[in-house]
C-alpha cells in the first residue's frame, strides 16, 4: 500500500455522540427520495467486494450471510459488490451475465429484506472490466508471450532467426530493453499485459460501444428480475466505463477526446438500461469526482459528467476518487497489478498514515463541487459521497455543508455494521470505530476473504461461528447483543 511521504498518523475519533432524540432529529436519520423510492435514512453502504462468491461467480451461503449481517444494521441502502455483466470466467467475483445467476441473487435479495425488516433498500453495482494478466516470469515472456515484430527484427540487424532474437532480448539489461521494446511491451514484461479501451486494432475493444449498452441493459434487467431495488452502473476506478470518461481516452471513433465524446458511451449505456428496466426502476452510477493521476480527468470534467448524468435522468450519483492502474505498484512475478496500490489508490481508500489533509474526507470538496454544479443546472439528483466517514458528527457536517445528500461509509460499516443503528438509538458510545489501517484492503488485494481486524478474532472458540478455510478468522462480524432488545 502506498502512503504519503509525510507519514503523519491520524486517529479516527468517535466525535460527538448524539442522544436518541438528537439522532432522530438529525439530517443523517431523515428520509430522502431516490427515484421513486424513499430511503428511511441518509446512510449508505457502498460496494465492497468481500471475496465470498463461488469460483463460478454464484451467490454462496457466505455471500448471503455477509449482506444479511450488514442489513441487520439497517442502513438506508446497501450496494452489493461490483458484479460482472459478462458471462466469462472471472474467479470468485459475483456475476450477473446469465439467467442462471438469478436464483442465487434472488436469495440474496430476500435475505437482506428479511434481515433489515424491510428497512434497507438494496442496490447492485454492475461492472465491466477488460482483461489483465499476471506479471510474467521474464524467461517465459521472451520465450513465449512476446510477439516478435519487424521493429524487433530491425533492432537486431543480421539476426535472421526469431528464436535468436528472443534469446538476445532475454539477456539484455532493462536499459537496453527500453530501447528495443515498445512501451506496452515493456509494461507487459514488468507489470503483466493489460488491455486498454484505446487498443483499437483489437475488434472486441473497437466494438465496445456497440456491445456494452446491451450487456449492461441485460444485467440491469436481471437485477430487476431478482428483486433488487435498483442498479448502480460502475463508472468509477480502473474499469472499462471509467476509462471511457478519462481524459486519457484518446479513441478516435467519436467516443474519446473531448468531454462530450468521452461521456457518450456512459450515456448510451444508461439509455439502454433505462429503456430496458422502465422509467420507475432506480438507476444511478458511481463515478470519479477526480481521477488523481497525471493527465487524468479533474473535478471540472466530473462536474460536466455529473450534470450530463443528472440531465439524462439518473436517479442518484455516487462519487468516489482515484483507484487507477496508471500509478499502481509493480506486482510480484505471478501476481496481477492492483489499482489501489499507488497514490491514486490511496485517494480512493486512504489509510491512517497520511499527509496534513489526513484520510478523512479527501473527497468532500470535489464531491461538493460536482453537487453544486448539478444544483446550478436546476437538477435535484441525490449525491452520495464516500471516503473516510467514521462518525456521526462528520457525516452530519457533510450533509449540512452541501457535500452530498446521502453519506457513504464503506470501511466504517465493515468495522461495525451496526454503527448506524447504534447511533440512531443513542448508543453511539458502543460503536467500533474504523482505524483505517487497511488490513481489509490488504486482504482484498490478495483476493482473500475480506474481514476486519477489530472483530475477526472475536468468539473464535464458538463452534457456531463461521470461519475462513484456515480456521483463523471469523467470516461475519459478531452480533450486537443489545440490538434485539433495543429495537
Ligand X SMILES: Cc1cc2nc3c(=O)[nH]c(=O)nc-3n(C[C@H](O)[C@H](O)[C@H](O)COP(=O)(O)O)c2cc1C
Q: Which residues contact 475 (CB under 8 A, 6 or more apart)?
A: 52, 62, 65, 66, 449, 451, 466, 467, 468
Q: Which stretch binds ligand X (CB under 6 A): 46-54, 181-189, 372-380, 420-428?
A: 46-54
Task: Find out whether 455 and 478 touch, Cβ atoms under 8 Å.
Answer: yes
Q: Which stretch binds ligand SF4 (CB under 6 A): 100-108, 174-182, 232-240, 447-455?
A: 447-455
Phi, psi at 319, each rounded to 5°: -105, 145
> Is 434 an interacting residue with respect to ligand SF4 (CB under 6 A)?
yes
Taking residues 68 to 107 in sequence order and writing x for each that binds ligand X by CB under 6 A, - otherwise, the string is -------------xx-------------------------
Q: Which residue has the cell 441473487?
A: 105
Alpha carbon of residue 357 to chain centroid: 23
| Cell numbers for 97 | 451475465
Phi, psi at 340, each rounded to 5°: -115, 25
- Alpha carbon of 355 to those of 7, 109, 331, 358, 412: distances in Å? 6, 41, 25, 5, 21
In angstroms, what is the minimal distance from the CB of 12 to ligand SF4?
8
Which one of residues 28, 39, 440, 454 is an interface residue with ligand X (CB under 6 A)?
440
Cα angle, residue 86 at apex, residues 81 and 89 outer, rounded to 5°: 85
Residue ranges with strand state E in 76-119: 77-84
Residue nearer to ligand SF4 on the CB measure, 311 or 453: 453
Phi, psi at 373, each rounded to 5°: -70, -35
> Is 213 an interacting residue with respect to ligand X (CB under 6 A)?
no
> Is 47 an interacting residue with respect to ligand X (CB under 6 A)?
yes
> Is 452 an interacting residue with respect to ligand SF4 (CB under 6 A)?
yes
Q: Which stretch binds ligand SF4 (CB under 6 A): 87-95, 259-267, 301-309, 436-444?
A: 436-444
| Cell numbers for 314 | 439518473
Task: Find out whether 124 and 231 touch, Cβ atoms under 8 Å.
Answer: yes
Q: Which stretch binds ligand X (CB under 6 A): 181-189, 380-388, 398-406, 476-484?
A: 380-388
| 130-189 residues near ligand X, rule: CB under 6 A | none
| 374-403 residues near ligand SF4, rule: CB under 6 A | none
Which one of residues 437, 448, 482, 483 is an interface residue with ligand SF4 (CB under 6 A)?
437
Which stretches of the chain bind ligand X, using CB under 6 A? Answer: 46-49, 81-82, 125, 234, 236, 286, 320, 348-349, 386-389, 409-412, 440-441, 444, 450
Which stretches of the chain bind ligand SF4, using CB under 6 A? Answer: 411, 414-415, 434-440, 452-454
Amino acid at each position: 500500500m502506498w502512503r504519503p511521504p509525510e507519514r503523519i498518523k491520524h486517529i479516527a475519533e468517535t466525535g460527538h455522540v448524539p442522544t436518541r432524540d438528537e439522532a432522530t432529529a438529525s439530517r443523517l436519520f431523515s428520509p430522502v427520495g431516490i427515484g421513486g423510492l424513499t430511503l428511511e435514512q441518509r446512510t449508505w453502504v457502498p460496494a465492497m467486494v468481500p471475496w465470498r462468491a463461488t469460483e463460478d461467480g454464484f451467490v454462496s451461503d457466505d455471500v448471503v450471510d455477509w449482506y444479511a449481517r450488514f442489513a441487520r444494521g439497517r442502513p438506508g441502502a446497501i450496494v452489493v459488490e461490483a458484479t460482472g455483466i459478462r458471462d466469462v470466467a472471472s474467479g470468485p467475483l459475483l456475476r450477473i451475465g446469465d439467467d442462471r445467476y438469478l436464483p442465487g441473487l434472488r436469495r440474496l435479495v430476500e435475505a437482506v429484506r428479511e434481515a433489515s425488516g424491510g428497512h434497507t433498500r438494496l442496490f447492485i453495482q454492475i461492472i465491466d472490466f477488460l482483461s489483465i494478466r499476471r506479471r510474467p516470469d521474464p524467461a517465459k515472456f521472451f520465450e513465449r508471450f512476446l510477439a516478435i515484430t519487424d521493429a524487433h527484427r530491425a533492432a537486431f540487424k543480421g539476426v535472421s532467426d526469431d528464436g535468436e532474437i528472443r534469446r538476445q532480448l532475454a539477456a539484455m539489461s532493462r536499459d537496453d530493453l527500453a530501447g528495443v521494446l515498445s512501451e506496452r511491451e515493456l509494461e507487459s514484461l514488468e507489470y503483466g499485459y493489460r488491455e486498454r479501451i484505446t487498443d483499437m486494432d483489437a475488434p472486441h475493444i473497437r466494438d465496445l460501444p456497440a456491445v456494452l449498452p446491451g450487456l449492461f441493459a441485460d444485467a440491469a434487467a436481471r437485477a430487476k428480475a431478482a428483486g433488487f431495488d435498483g442498479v448502480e452502473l460502475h463508472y468509477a476506478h480502473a474499469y472499462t466505463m471509467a476509462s471511457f470518461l478519462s481524459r486519457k481516452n484518446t479513441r478516435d471513433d467519436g467516443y474519446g477526446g473531448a468531454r462530450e465524446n468521452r461521456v457518450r458511451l456512459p450515456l448510451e449505456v444508461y439509455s439502454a438500461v433505462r429503456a430496458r428496466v422502465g422509467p420507475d426502476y432506480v438507476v444511478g452510477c458511481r463515478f470519479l469526482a477526480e481521477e488523481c493521476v497525471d493527465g487524468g480527468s479533474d473535478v471540472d470534467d466530473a462536474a460536466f459528467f455529473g450534470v450530463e448524468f443528472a440531465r439524462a435522468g439518473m436517479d442518484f450519483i455516487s462519487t468516489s476518487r482515484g483507484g487507477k492502474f496508471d500509478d499502481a505498484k509493480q506486482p510480484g512475478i505471478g501476481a496481477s497489478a492492483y489499482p489501489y496500490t499507488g497514490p491514486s489508490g490511496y485517494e480512493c481508500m486512504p489509510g491512517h498514515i497520511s499527509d496534513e489533509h489526513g484520510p478523512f474526507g479527501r473527497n468532500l470538496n470535489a464531491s461538493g463541487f460536482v453537487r453544486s454544479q448539478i444544483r446550478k443546472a436546476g437538477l435535484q439528483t441525490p449525491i452520495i459521497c464516500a471516503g473516510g466517514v467514521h462518525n456521526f458528527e462528520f457525516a452530519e457536517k457533510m450533509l449540512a455543508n452541501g457535500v452530498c445528500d446521502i453519506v457513504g461509509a464503506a470501511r466504517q460499516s465493515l468495522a461495525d455494521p451496526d454503527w448506524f443503528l447504534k447511533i440512531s438509538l443513542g448508543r453511539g458510545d458502543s460503536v467500533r470505530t474504523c482505524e483505517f489501517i487497511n488490513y481489509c484492503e490488504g486482504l482484498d488485494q490478495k483476493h482473500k476473504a475480506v474481514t476486519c481486524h477489530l472483530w475477526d478474532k472475536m468468539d473464535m472458540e464458538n463452534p457456531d461461528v463461521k470461519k475462513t478455510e484456515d480456521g483463523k478468522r471469523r467470516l461475519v462480524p459478531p452480533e450486537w447483543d443489545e440490538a434485539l432488545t433495543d429495537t
